[in-house]
Structure 1
């Protein structure tokens, strides 16, 4: 019996060596921070000023949802730090359409107005909530979620991510603005090609 246990243990160990482990988050770094080659590193390198419009009275978008990101792309000091931010701006009646973040959970904090939010788990269950100023809501990593300003006033939220580059996969854009064959989409959504063409036309980038 002991020999059987030993053999099983060896097999498990060998599979752990042979089969690569999937990494679903940011890798750890072996330095305090990562600076671009030949960059001058001082306090300004670790400072992001892209959210200044929240305090300086800059005109906010009046009719369209807008997101202002502070990810590794906009703020290089975040490289290797496994964290990033976004400011979400919602004129009344606008939505952040269903989407996912494949590399991070999202922690949303409402700083102004009111938002309806929700996500769908892998069992197909929908979880929704109406958030007021000061409320927080977490969207688990990789799950489809949305936010909607159904109120009559402006809404602003801050989102924190557990990745320097959480990534965003917009469902409307991914499905209807990337060239997937109309017939495939029509069969998938149990509709006809004409409906799919209308959806694609509505999501086409305006010149």
Structure 2
């Protein structure tokens, strides 16, 4: 899910087993990527994993650091993460997104030999892209609440789309509605739009 002219390339650690089986990014129901993406204003509505093909038109793409599917990201070896980091850097250099958003600080530290990295914007660039480390959206990540996760996504969105400050613009991006990200996340599950 990578193309030219992207504002943000979101990069998961690796596919989970359900994501690999379905061929969709962040497919496990407990994963908080799609809700956080909407709550932060990246999408005009909450997308289902089956709708991942629509993200390129919104100015962002999806990829992973490592290709091997596992039940948990911590099943990957350091060698796989380092090799994935090299491959990702080459991919970013080829496609030239403005921002690379890596979802998972622990994997980022290993893949890019940056043991002091923390969540947020990084001083380095990779393949010419500015880098932002986001918390892992996995439901297993108990360190970040859904609201805090969406707020960090919103910080990235503000940096990547600085001119988009009001409602829906021509790119399809939306500001979080009145009440902020907490209101978006508290909405009924029925707000999720099922895939085709």
Q: TM-score range by the shorter chain?
A: under 0.3
- Higher gyration radius (CA): 1
More strand by share: 1
Q: TM-score, normalised by structure 2?
A: 0.26
Greater fraction helix: 2
- Between 1 and 2, higher relative CO (CA 8 Å, sep ≥ 6) is seen in 2
**Normalization by structure 1: what TM-score?**
0.25
